Structure 1
Amino acid sequence: MSSKITAPADYKTESILLANQRAAEHGIDLSKLPQLMDMNADTITDNVHAINANCTNDRMKFVFKSLIQHLHDFIRETSLTSEEWMTALEFLTKTGQISSDIRHEFILLSDVLGVSTLVDSLNHAKPPGATEACVLGPFFTEDAHHLQNGDSIATEGKGEYMYVHGKVLDTKGNPIPGATIDTWETDGQGLYDTQYAERTEPDCRGRLFSAEDGTYAFRAVVPVSYPIPSDGPVGKLVTNLGRHVFRPSHLHMQIEAQGFEKLTTAFYPRGDPYLYSDAVFGVHTSLIVDLKQVSDKELSLKRGFKEGKPHVELHRDIILATPEEGREARKKMMPAVEK
């Protein structure tokens, strides 16, 4: 049944009917919409809420109502000028333009604003004993080579040798076999493989699986502290805010296993000068690790290091939470989302 439409005096009835038919194809009844005329600072917010009220996705409607309210309030509170708003739009445009399949400038923006850590803290809260999550960062890729336990994620000459090993366990201490482990890091120059123009294949990253007893092991290089990309809009923003652009050295790991929550985390060697001022707010005390110096030539040879040269050892067990354990932890952090 078609809605009754009363055309304004200055409208052609045929045009109104056609417009209503077109809107109806998208499930919209024009006669029931608010009259969006003569909008001003006093009326615009309520009318944007009103026009979005027809959204049938309750979660989306709730999120956007809050987003619009806070955004409009921010503009009012700061008396934002047209020039400042245009600068913001140009900044976002440049952020998109510099992004690619292997450079994620918007993730970097989220990181430096503390948004990534906030979202992670709320959505990935873990029960006591489970390994804490931290930011993904902008350098994860899907093209890592599949490796066997004990293989190297780095080609020769990429940095000082490091051996990483441990077990993947549940919160009760039981081993988790077959867990997928993605790991990635910088080379000894503080650069990810994606930052090299001549990159032809992944390096200093790899994908392996935990063994039947939950063990995992791989060769890597000692990570070093490094600056976030400073040639783009986000790096320049951080500098303009009077902050430094450095991250402490760390090794990224992402672990997935059937029946457990996916974990994105990183381990930070103790003693790095940027541990307490990470540009992306990613460090957790529980993720700080000690690197052990190994000079035993036979052990170095056994672990696959060329000529049995010395290396450092990072030993760390990874504790995964079940979805039920994760939900209980998140109820304490963000009860509204868990309803």
Structure 2
Amino acid sequence: MNTITLDNITQAVINHGDGAKTHPRLYEIYKSLITHLHAFVQEVNLTEQELQMGRDFFTRVARSSGDMPDGEIAMLTDLLGISELVDLLHRTNHDTVTESTLEGPMYVPDAPERQMGDRLGIDEDGDVLFMSGRVLDVNGSPIANALIDVWQTNSKGFYDIQDLNQPKGNFRGRFRTNADGCYAFETVVPIGYDIPANGPCGEVLRLLGRHTHRPAHIHFKLSATGFNPLTTQTYLNDDPYICSDTVFAVVSSTIITLQKHNVPNGMLVHNQNKLFYTVKFNFVLSPVTEDV
């Protein structure tokens, strides 16, 4: 029997298995994870008390809460920059297609199906925004029948799943592009917001002196037959945290500038009798390629 020591414990844990015979990719990840975790523990000289604090933290992160019904695991990987790092590792064709970014923890599948030009949500206090554009391939040709899944906060910075005053599916919707690749919907101007910070992730951010702000944005997931799916966000250019997103997800190519429209007294413009905004943004998808 070999005595476990500081010098051999890492390799002993790695070797405790069949050495990649059952699942080579899992073994590759496991070996690297154990190597780095053990090195981290030794580098910081982790104490038993600190280890227990870490265990308690991850237990709490996995628990459901009012703001985060699925727990904070997804938000934690966002806050640590891991989600965006994974996206950056696999992002291709930066100059020819719309850049992707992280999905975030507030996505809900099977959003309501809506028609071209429909309102995305109900919010009488928000400034109206008309967003439109086209979905194109890398040659500039339209992609018809592309599915665009959209979600955002209301004008107070809350998603429907965080706010009991909003109906289910508020500011969520799935749209189809027409034959010219066009899409259009009515919404409200989103605002930047603080991520849910009443749980363990918020506690750690405060202890580190990190802020909890995300710049104003709208989420998109796009898919079309023959094209790679795209998950991205568009960001309002004048948000004060555009250069300091707490989840590190802003990409310059998806920053948008809203055009402000003042409506003359007694007139209707774009079916509006008050201030409203418009913006156009085109998405470019990359084609699916077969491995040779």
TM-score by length of 1: 0.80
Does the 8 Å contact 2:123/2:154 carry over to 1?
A: no
Question: Which one has a larger percent helix, Structure 1 or Structure 2?
Answer: 1
Shift in Å at residue 66 of structure 1?
0.5
1:323 equivalent in structure 2: 288
Seen in structure 2, the aligned counterparts of structure 1 residues 103 and 153 have a Cα distance that, compared at 3 Å, is farther
Matches within 5 A, 1:185-224: 185-197=152-164, 200-224=167-191
Deviations 1:186-220 (A, max 9, x none): 11111111111455511111111111110000011
TM-align CA RMSD: 2.1
Does the 8 Å contact 1:104/1:138 carry over to 2?
A: no
1:7 equivalent in structure 2: none
SS at match of 1:300: coil
Does the 8 Å contact 1:143/1:202 carry over to 2?
A: no
Aligned-partner Cα distance in 1 for 2:70–2:170? 15
Seen in structure 2, the aligned counterparts of structure 1 residues 104 and 215 have a Cα distance that, compared at 3 Å, is farther
Q: 1:86 aligns with which of 42, 49, 52?
A: 52
Shift in Å at residue 309 of structure 1?
3.1
2:200 equivalent in structure 1: 233
Does the 8 Å contact 1:229/1:235 carry over to 2?
A: yes
Aligned-partner Cα distance in 2 for 1:97–1:216? 38
Matches within 5 A, 1:81-120: 81-98=47-64, 102-120=69-87
Matches within 5 A, 1:4-83: 38-52=3-17, 53-83=19-49
Matches within 5 A, 1:298-337: 298-301=268-271, 305=272, 308-324=273-289
Aligned-partner Cα distance in 1 for 2:34–2:141? 47
Deviations 1:275-305 (A, max 9, x none): 111111011111111100123555421xxx5
Aligned-partner Cα distance in 1 for 2:65–2:43? 31
1:183 aligns with 2:183: no
SS at match of 2:183: strand
SS at match of 2:62: helix
Amino acid aligned to 2:270: S
Does the 8 Å contact 1:102/1:139 carry over to 2?
A: no
Shift in Å at residue 225 of structure 1?
0.8
Moved beyond 6 Å, runs of 4+: none
Amino acid aligned to 1:110: T
**Which sits farther off after the overlay, 151-160 or 73-82?**
151-160
Shift in Å at residue 123 of structure 1?
1.8
- In the alignment, structure 1 segments of 5+ residues that lack a partner are 1-34, 328-338
Number of residue-to-residue matches in the alignment: 287
Aligned-partner Cα distance in 2 for 1:47–1:199? 54
Structure possessing the higher radius of gyration over alpha carbons: 1
Aligned-partner Cα distance in 1 for 2:70–2:217? 19
Q: 1:249 aligns with which of 207, 216, 221?
A: 216
Deviations 1:110-133 (A, max 9, x none): 111111110010123334221111
Shift in Å at residue 164 of structure 1?
0.6
**Which sits farther off after the overlay, 211-220 or 39-48?**
39-48
Of all paired residues, the percent bearing the same amino acid is 36
Shift in Å at residue 98 of structure 1?
2.7
Does the 8 Å contact 1:250/1:267 carry over to 2?
A: yes
**Which sits farther off after the overlay, 38-47 or 250-259?**
38-47
Does the 8 Å contact 1:104/1:139 carry over to 2?
A: no
Shift in Å at residue 175 of structure 1?
0.4
